[in-house]
Amino acid sequence: GGSVVTWGDVDFGGDSSRVQSQLRSVHKIRATEQAFAAILADGSVVTWGEAEAGGDSSEVQQQLRSVQEIQSTSGAFAALLEDGSVLTWGDQEEGGNSSAVRHQLRNVQQIQATEGALAAIL
């Protein structure tokens, strides 16, 4: 179990063939307007869809380990890691760039998103 089937407009993540072989033991899926992020049973993450809307997680891929939860804005993802830190990627203006608050994102309990912003409970 835990495999994924996608369909619909390829510009909105409807084609997951590029990452299909990685989509095993999928635990949860989250979505922006044009991309998906799947949390696997081992806590790693696989993304696909429009790169600028979170479909490209390559900048944070090595750190996406022990992911507990993912929230999404319309164009970005935020992942809460087991150690209480948060990683973000996707549209910089819609929460994909958390550098201004990165030093505060420690011991995070929960994250929540609106269409274009993110909030964290410490």
- The band of 1, judged by pLDDT with boundaries at 50, 70 and 90, is confident
**pLDDT mean over 5-10:** 97
Q: Where does residue 92 rank: exposed (0-12), middle (13-18), buried (19+ CB within 10 A)?
A: middle
- Please write the tens of the pLDDT for every residue from 26-61: 999 999 999 999 999 999 999 999 999 999 999 999
Q: Which two tokens stand for residue 105?
A: 């994102």
- Phi then psi for residue 105, to 5 deg, are -85, 70
pLDDT tens by residue, 63-99: 999 999 999 999 999 999 999 999 999 999 999 999 9
Its pTM stands at 0.95
